[in-house]
A and B are shown apart, each in its own frame.
Chain A
Amino acid sequence: MLNIHQLYVLKNYVLQKQNKMIKKIIILTLTFSLAISAFFLFKPFNYIDNDQSAVLCDNGGIFNIGPNYIYSFEDRLDSFNGIKARKLCQFNAIRDYNDTYKSPETINYQFKPIFSQDSSWPDALLMASAVILAAWLLIGFFVKKDLKNYFSFKYIFISFLLGTAVYFVVLRQPTINLYCQRQVAQKVVNFRNSAFKYGVLSVPEEDKHIKEITPEIFQKCFRSEF
């Protein structure tokens, strides 16, 4: 029979063990949920390369869109950019925001988009592993123990399941939010880099239009991902 003191020591030992186990599971769960989040944040998407995409004019002219201040954030030109393409094909005119030239009434071009891919599935996997590596380094830095024996397979398995659950319940929405912001940022920056590569100009009309259409693109992305 154990005496009271021995029982007390045993109870403390069990509690300590439990605490350690809970701590390990929390750390691992957090790591896995963040890794899954990084994976989905960096999953690939396609966007139109405004520097390479072109309008093929009915009169035979071919123009890359970005350098001529025309852009597309989806697979077509919106009405604002469509008018610019018509004027470009008809009058070789760009940045005619004051309507010096009258836009042709019919579409006089064919839009030929060229798509680029941002990130890739291996990249997404790499970012997830980077989160795990970062956690591994941090734990190793603070715990200063041989990590091979620190986490058993049992802990890893349970934590992975919990981490997946935490991702879906807590982190999924902010991850999609960031993912869609990443898409919008890439599309807008791609146009700016193409149009302004030899010198930035102040074009308030473009800034205004981009400001108007980006929430819509974001919402579209969010709806399709959620």
Chain B
Amino acid sequence: MDRTKFNKLLDFSIVTLFFTNLWIILYNGILTYVNFIFPPVVKSGLLRDIAFPNPAKTVLYLGLSAIFVLIFWVICRERFQTVLYNNFFLKIILFIILLISFVNKLGTYPLVNEPSIYPFPASSFTYSLIFAGFIGVIAFLIIESTILQKIIEKKRLFYLITLGFIILLIAIFTFEPHFPLSAHDYSFILGPIQEILNRKTIYTDIPSQHGLLPIFLFTVLYKLNLVKFAYFSAVIWILYIVQYFLSFYILFKISKSLVFSLLGMFSIIVLNYFSLYLLAAFLPQTGPLRWLPGIISLLLLLKTKKINSAFLIISVGLSFFWILDSGIALILGFTATLGTLWLKKVVDLKKVFSTLLLLSISTLGIFLVINIVQLSFGYKWIDVGNIFSTLNEYARLGIVQEPIQPKVFFWVFVMIYISSMLYFFQSKKIDVAKTALVFCANIALFSSIYYVGRSNPHNLFHITPFVILTFFILVGTIWREYGQISDLSLQKLVVGSLIFIFFIFYPAYERRTSLVQLINVKYEGWKQGQIFKPEFNQSLNNYFSQEPQFIKKNLPENKIIILDTDDTYLFYLTGKQNLLLENPQAGILTQDRLAHALSEAVKVCPRKIAVDCQALNQCPAYKPLGEPSFTVPQILQKIENDCHVKYTPIVCTQKLCIAEAK
């Protein structure tokens, strides 16, 4: 790289660091002051003290980002590039000061070296061996890919074989023997499926935390007997393979470099998969179920090369009916991209409005199609207002929200966004890669609200896919400007090694304990054999050895009430219908939601109901299959009050009682 290019990069880095530092100082300063003047106040109507309402956090995050984008637009439009004094050593000093100032704002690495819930390997030697093996395998694959690069450029067959090998590689890396799943988290999928199969309409009758289309997808798979419930985490695993492969493919399309794309893909896998404290498919809602529509939209943009392509617009419109908050993030990201392209005069205002109109029409059209299909199968019209009710509860009341710390690694994500937007605005020629960069950066910006709202360090790893993808698209695009990325040179070796160290080795090292435990538990699973046999069925039947029969015997009616934190699984095992309009009950967190859930039940006021024996003080505390219940006593009391009865236990197992109204 010659001196001029290096100088340009240095200028770019200084400006990026300056604005990132400024963004962070302003964000922390303003947020602290606003929180001081307007302390978070919980609204009444919550069943548990789990809310930290702080709307200023997200508004400020988006507002400040928008203002900075406008500043970049003004700076680049007015050609203020000569602001920096052209002295090389002065620039180096400035760069170092800004970098130190930025690093000081990061604090400690999220969940640094914290263990996961899984057992440790037998010895410290095995521990070291697993970690070294993991890093070694990734390094080996990346080095090997430099040799493959030349071959795949010439022969298409080898190219296809390589793609197949990469899919296999991802499948092996992310495979979880026996498909373990979290009973609590998967009940938010199985519960609505049961209710839909019992003729209840999603959103109109029952709420859904996981949107519309994922629930429909699983319902179809389940109803047609294509996938049994115990295999639901296997579906998530397949979606993980698709997500990581598409991430690789997007980077490959942009950079044309196998090494670079593999570096990006492994970085995403290390940060988004191996940094978690649980096996990733164990929790369904934080992985591809949330992010896949965005990745597909990004790919469609690269394929069609047009921001207003019909396929892309329909894909973005569809995402609204996927998981709601990630769908909204995608729609906002798409709209922000249109706005950014308009500022840069890549698209005119007419095109912006026609694209937004088309997006609105397609979203409405998809909603109509969904409703027509629903009505034709005998279901009700979907209540639009209810679609937003869960999101509203979480956003307005601040349920499970957490405060953001002043020193967090999240600021790296802000820096990646700022650098992408700066790069875009200072670019003279806008091609599809740069449009993809802005689109990806904007999706990352809006999907990061997931963390900004609930600033749990663990969530930082959940939101990494788009952020890391943005970073790699940015580096790939910059690098392409300086020559063919596929060429092997010393500079590329240095940059590749630095990326490997900072984006693969460093995050893996900081989360080494958990990472080793995750690999170890997978290895133990492989050792047990029958790796494709799900473990959940057996554990479910063992856990509820008496209860299904007990319920069937004592509650012969078809529609019943089971007040238990594991209600979803008891309905699953008994085949009974739920008299409550909520499944699972763990989703009831507000008085409004409770009133809605009981609206049918209090009309019937059944003589006998099944109740968790702990709520009736008939048994000692025990560990449930899902998460401990806090709301069963409140639900019971509400039924008793509304039905003017008192339920008293008549017969119990070790977990459940049958209570009769007196």
Contact = CB atoms under 8 A, between A and B. Distances in A.
Mutual binders A and B:
yes
A188 B33 CA distance: 10
Contact of A182 (B33, B52, B98, B405): B33
B66 interface: no
A200 B80 contact: no
Contacts of B74: 137, 141
Nearest to B399: A199
Given A137-B75, A188-B36, A197-B402, 16 more contacts: A42-B25, A116-B406, A118-B406, A120-B104, A123-B101, A129-B18, A136-B80, A181-B33, A184-B36, A185-B32, A185-B33, A189-B32, A192-B403, A196-B40, A198-B49, A201-B49
A152 B403 CA distance: 48
A189 B36 contact: yes
Given A189-B35, A192-B35, A200 B42 contact: yes
Contacts of B78: 137, 140-141
A126 B33 contact: no
Contacts of A122: 97-98, 100-101
Contact of A198 (B21, B42, B50, B97): B50
A130 interface: yes
Contacts of A184: 36
Contacts of B40: 192, 196, 200
A198 B25 contact: no
A110 B451 CA distance: 36
B476 to A, nearest CB: 30
Interface of B: 18, 21-22, 25, 29, 32-33, 35-37, 39-42, 48-53, 71, 74-75, 78, 80, 82-83, 97-98, 100-101, 104, 398, 402-403, 405-406
A123 B25 CA distance: 8
Interface in A110-150: 116, 118-120, 122-123, 126-127, 129-130, 133, 136-137, 140-141, 148
Nearest to A210: B39
Contact of A123 (B21, B32, B71, B405): B21
Contacts of A116: 406
A196 B42 CA distance: 11
A186 interface: yes
A202 interface: yes
A137 B71 contact: yes
B619 to A, nearest CB: 27
Nearest to B94: A129
A213 B588 CA distance: 39
A192 B34 CA distance: 13
A198 B402 contact: yes
Given A120-B104, A123-B101, A200-B42, A130 B35 contact: no
A119 B24 CA distance: 10
A193 interface: yes
B33 to A, nearest CB: 5
Contact of A199 (B33, B35, B50, B406): B50
Contacts of A148: 82
Contacts of B42: 199-202
Contacts of B71: 137
A217 to B, nearest CB: 12
A136 B81 CA distance: 12
A126 B105 CA distance: 14
Nearest to B71: A137
A198 B101 CA distance: 30
Contacts of B32: 182, 185-186, 189
A129 B75 CA distance: 15
Contacts of B405: 193
B53 A200 contact: yes
B80 to A, nearest CB: 6
B540 to A, nearest CB: 30
Contact of B101 (A126, A182, A189, A192): A126
A71 to B, nearest CB: 14
A137 B403 CA distance: 34
B406 A185 contact: no
B25 A140 contact: no
A127 B619 CA distance: 62
Contacts of B29: 42, 182
A141 B77 CA distance: 10
Interface in A170-200: 181-182, 184-186, 188-189, 192-193, 196-200
B41 A200 contact: yes
Contacts of B51: 199-200
B402 A119 contact: no
A179 B367 CA distance: 53
